[in-house]
Amino acid sequence: MYFNQKLKGLMQLFKISNSKLARGINVDASLVSRWKSGERAMSPSSPHVPAIASFFLGLNAYHYQQEFLDYILKHQLPDDMIQDEGRRIHALADWLVSDEPFNLDAALHEPQSPAHTQNIIANIAGLMNTDSLPKLPDISNQAAGITRISHNPGVQASFEKFDGIEGKRQAVLNFLIEVVKSDRKQDLLLHSEDDMTWLTGDRQYTLIWASLLKQIIESGHSITIIHVVDRQREEIMNALTYWMPLHLAGQIDSFYFPRYVESPVKRTLFIARGQSAIAAWNVSDSKKLTTFFYRDLDAISTFESMYEAHLSQCRRLFSVFSRQNGMQLIESGYDLRQKSGTVFNMRSQLNSLLLPKACLTKTLEDNLINPNKQQMIKVMLEHQELFFRKLRDEDYYDIIPVAILDQLERFGRAEVDSCLLCLTEPWIMDSESTIIWIEETIHALKKYEHYHLYLSDQTPGLEDINVNIIYKENNGALFSPSTS
Pick the CATH number of 159-318 from 3.20.20.140, 3.30.870.10, 3.30.2290.10, 1.10.1740.10: 3.30.870.10
For 7-59, what is each residue's pLDDT tens digit? 988 888 888 888 889 888 888 888 888 898 888 888 887 889 999 999 999 88
Residue 459 has pLDDT above 60, yes or no: no
Q: Which pLDDT band holds residue 118 (cuts at 50, 70, 90)?
A: low
For the ranges 61-65, 121-125, 327-331, 375-379, the lowest mean pLDDT is seen at 121-125
The separation between CA 139 and the C-alpha centre of its own chain, rounded to angstroms, equals 57
**Residue 226 DSSP SS3:** strand
**Tell me: the pLDDT tens digits for 45-57?**
788 999 999 999 9
Q: Which of 340-344, 367-371, 444-448, 451-455 has the lowest mean pLDDT?
A: 367-371
Residue % of the chain over a pLDDT of 90 = 24
Q: Which of 80-94, 172-186, 246-260, 342-356 ranks highest by mean pLDDT?
A: 172-186
Query: Which comes out higher in pLDDT, residue 74 or 179?
Result: 179
326 neighbors 346 (Cβ within 8 angstroms): no
Question: Is residue 294 over pLDDT 80?
Answer: yes
pLDDT score for 76: 81
Q: Could you write out the DSSP letters of every residue in 74-135?
A: HTTS-GGGTT-HHHHHHHHHHHHTSSPPP-HHHHSPPPPPHHHHHHHHHHHHHHH-GGGSPP
Is 163's pLDDT higher than 90? yes
Task: Find the angle CA(21)-CA(27)-CA(33) to the nearest 5 degrees.
Answer: 60
User: Which backbone phi and psi does 126 adopt, to 5 degrees?
Assistant: -65, -35
Kindly list the distances between the CA atom of residue 54 and the CA atoms of 68, 155, 227, 306, in Å, as whole numbers in the listed order. 15, 48, 21, 27
Query: Can you list the positions of beta strands (E) in 104-233?
Result: 159-163, 187-192, 222-227
Residue 128 C-beta-side C-alpha neighbours within 13 Å = 6
Nearest-CA neighbor of 409 among 441, 452, 438?
A: 438
Q: Greater confidence, 332 or 294?
A: 294
Amino acid at 139: I
The larger pLDDT score, comparing residue 481 to residue 391, is at: 391
The dihedrals phi and psi of 476, each to the nearest 5 degrees, come to 175, 175
- Cα separation, 168 vs 59, in Å, equals 34
State pTM to two decimals: 0.59
Question: How would residue 140 be classed by pLDDT, with cut points 50, 70 and 90?
Answer: low
Q: What is the mean pLDDT of the chain?
A: 82
The predicted pLDDT at position 233 comes to: 57
The mean pLDDT value for 171-182 works out to: 95
Give the rounded percent of residues in the chain with a pLDDT score beyond 70. Answer: 82
pLDDT confidence band for 461 (50 / 70 / 90): very low
Question: If you compute the radius of gyration of the chain from its CA atoms, what whole number of angstroms results?
Answer: 29
Q: With a cut of 60, say whether residue 375 has pLDDT above it.
A: yes
Which three-class secondary structure state does DSSP give residue 314?
A: coil
pLDDT for position 439: 93
What per-residue confidence (pLDDT) applies to 152? 80
Extents of the domains making up the chain: 3-107, 159-318, 323-481
Q: Which residues contact 409 (CB under 8 A, 6 or more apart)?
A: none
pLDDT (0 to 100) of residue 239 = 61
Residue 192, Cβ density class (10 Å: 0-12 exposed, 13-18 middle, ≥19 buried) = buried
Query: What DSSP string runs through 246-297?
Result: HHHHS-EEEEE-TT----SEEEEEEEETTTEEEEEEEETT-S--EEEEE--H
Lowest mean pLDDT among 63-72, 138-147, 385-394, 450-459: 138-147
In this prediction, residue 462 carries a pLDDT of 47
Which residue type is seen at 358? A
Over residues 393-410, the pLDDT tens digits come to: 889 999 988 888 888 878
What backbone torsions phi and psi does residue 339 show, to the nearest 5 degrees?
-75, 155
Rounded to an integer, the average pLDDT of 248-265 is 76
> How do residues 198-249 score in pLDDT, each as one tens digit?
888 899 998 899 889 889 988 889 999 998 876 555 556 666 666 776 776 6
- 2 compared with 192, residue with greater pLDDT: 192
Residue 441 has pLDDT above 90, yes or no: yes
